[in-house]
Structure 1
Amino acid sequence: MNIGIFGAGHMGSAMIKGWLRSEAISPNDLLVRGGRRGTAQTLQEELQFKLTNDNQAFLEQDIIFLAVNTPLILSILKELKETLQDKVIPIVSVSAGVSVKEMQAVMGGSYPLAQAIPNTPVQINQGITGIVYAENIASESKELIQTSFNYLGELVEITEDKIGIFGTLAGCGPAFVDVFMEALSDGAVLNGMDRDMAYHVAAKMVASSANLLLETGKHPGELKDGVTSPGGTTIKGITALEKEGFRYATINAIDTIMN
């Protein structure tokens, strides 16, 4: 599969690393067009994918991804429409701010388009991506898009009205978890644990707890009850979290982004 991608910022570079890490995509299969900041050039020196400044080079790709800032999406689509002319190559935007309908207004209602929202764990092939397809997309194009994302983790098809909350939960959530792990580690360091060990234990605990929920299918509250013995240390810690508004702060963070 020959993949073309515009942009090598945070999300673009995460996807590039994930594809190459999967070993299903080689550096020679990846064509990248970067921006003015030079991040694509720096990444190319490390990963050895193909780099271009010429849209004509994308005519040889099987699929094209747009991983650039939202204001650039429609202008790049206009450039690609002129470049591609009658050639049909599926195009996927990974920007939250431009809908499939807006993309169709440029490329046409029958063009194979999709809007996807990946999260940064795609770089280790453990991401979760929400995707909205154009209504009339051909099965061959849809399958090609699905395959490209399957290399990066799990793909979930969602409706356009849910892509905002999906992006907030899956896309912003890792930063919330990172803050939580850092705070846990600070608490451990405060009580004498080595910093590197604290980070390792916190990360392993979060990952294994999440996997326990996924594999057992149990409600998070049920799993929490399995740790909280009557009068024990864990329930005392949870009480302290509740006193500080831990749940409300988390809910409010999601709601603040959405509103």
Structure 2
Amino acid sequence: MIGFIGAGSIGGAVITGMVKNGYDAKNIIVKGGHSNRTKLLCDQLGFQMVKKVKQLEETDVIFIAVGANALDSVLKELKEIAADKLIVAFTGGASITHLKQFLGDVKVAHAIPNTPVKVGAGFTGIAYSNNFTDEDKKKIESVLGYTGQVVEVPENQLGILGTVAGCSPAFLDLFIEALSDAGVKHGLNRKLAYDAAIGMAIGASKLAKQSEMNVSALKDEVTSPGGSTIRGVAALEEYGFRNAVIKAVDAAENK
């Protein structure tokens, strides 16, 4: 059995991705908050819902998906039942050291998923405490694998990985919106402009993922001499596109 504490933006997205991609909802128990959000999600997906952390006692793995302001109070409650479980926190400030301060010598991990986990196309970075075995890691990664790609990294790289993979869906949404606006400016109706921009983003990402070529070489394949694409690339360079992306990551990283 898998337990969740919290079913908000990230917790709800992970649960949805798991269930929509084949994980049996009957094997998920969720302790929700004070809002009606967990109940609504429960009605849609069919998992078990409980009111108290101690009711997750029968689970083997517990995912913590609460805000930073609620984390410590949750950890205090969780300590009573955590001894033999694998604990994974999605909360941004939930370092392994911090988790162990509350839970003791328990197997804990810190993970940062991005929102595409909701459709099984997510990217989750995860760092484990030293007492995790390879078998433990396989168990966590098999569960999160329902939501997309899972990559283990040292904890000191988890923040920047989370920024690059976690903040960037918003950056890409802005790019898609801008492309759509440009399409409308030049005569496309709004729906077609959005469909074209979104379809391009999906297709280009899939090609970049599956191709043996790096993205620079893929770009070169499209930019024929004197053509429209290289003129567009030149305009992006003129207006600082790459620098804007790097500065956006810098800003997201600066606490």
Q: Assess same fold via TM > 0.5.
A: yes
The residue number in structure 2 matching 1:3 is 2
Q: Which amino acid aligns with 1:42?
A: L
Q: Which amino acid aligns with 2:35?
A: R
- Which residue type is aligned with residue 16 of structure 1? I
Percent identity reads 41
User: Partners in 1 of 2:242 and 2:12 — Cα distance?
Assistant: 33
Superimposed CA distance per residue, residues 204-238 of structure 1 (whole angstroms, 9 cap, x where no aligned partner):
11111112122123222211111111211111111
Q: Does 1:128 align with 2:123?
A: yes
- 1:88-146: CA deviation from partner (whole Å, max 9, x where unpaired): 1111001121201110111113x111000111111111111100000112333222211
Contact 1:73 1:93 in 2 (8 A): no
- Separation in structure 1 between the aligned mates of residue 148 and residue 189 of structure 2, nearest angstrom: 33
Question: Which of 204, 210, 218 is residue 209 of structure 1 equivalent to?
Answer: 204
Structure 1 position 101 matched with structure 2 position 100: no
> In the aligned structure 2, how far is the partner of 1:184 from the partner of 1:15?
29
Question: TM-score scaled by structure 2?
Answer: 0.95
Aligned to 2:17: 18
Tell me how far apart the structure 2 counterparts of residues 47 and 11 of structure 1 sit (CA, whole Å): 16
| Aligned mates of 2:95, 2:140 — CA distance in 1 | 17
Structure 1 residue 164 corresponds to structure 2 residue 159: yes
Residue by residue over 1:180-218, the C-alpha shift from the partner in whole angstroms, topping out at 9 and shown as x without a partner, is 011101111111112112111111111111121221232
Q: Which one of the candidate residues 31, 34, 44 is aligned to 2:29? A: 31
- TM norm structure 1: 0.94
Structure 2 residue identity aligned to 1:99: S
CA RMSD between the two structures: 1.4
SS in structure 2 at match of 1:151: helix
Letter in 1 for 2:233: I
| SS class of match (2:188) | coil
Count of residue pairs brought into register by the alignment = 254
Instruction: Note the residue ranges of structure 2 that are not aligned, 5 or more in a row.
Output: none
Q: CA deviation at 1:38?
A: 2.1
- Segments of 5+ residues of structure 1 without an aligned counterpart are none
Per-residue CA deviation, residues 25-68 of structure 1 (Å, 9 max, x unaligned), is: 22211111111232112212222221111222201112100011
Counterpart residue type for residue 108 of structure 1: G
Q: d(CA) in 2 for partners of 1:140 and 1:221? A: 38
* 1:1-259 correspondence runs (5 A): 2-23=1-22, 25-82=23-80, 84=81, 87-109=83-105, 111-259=106-254
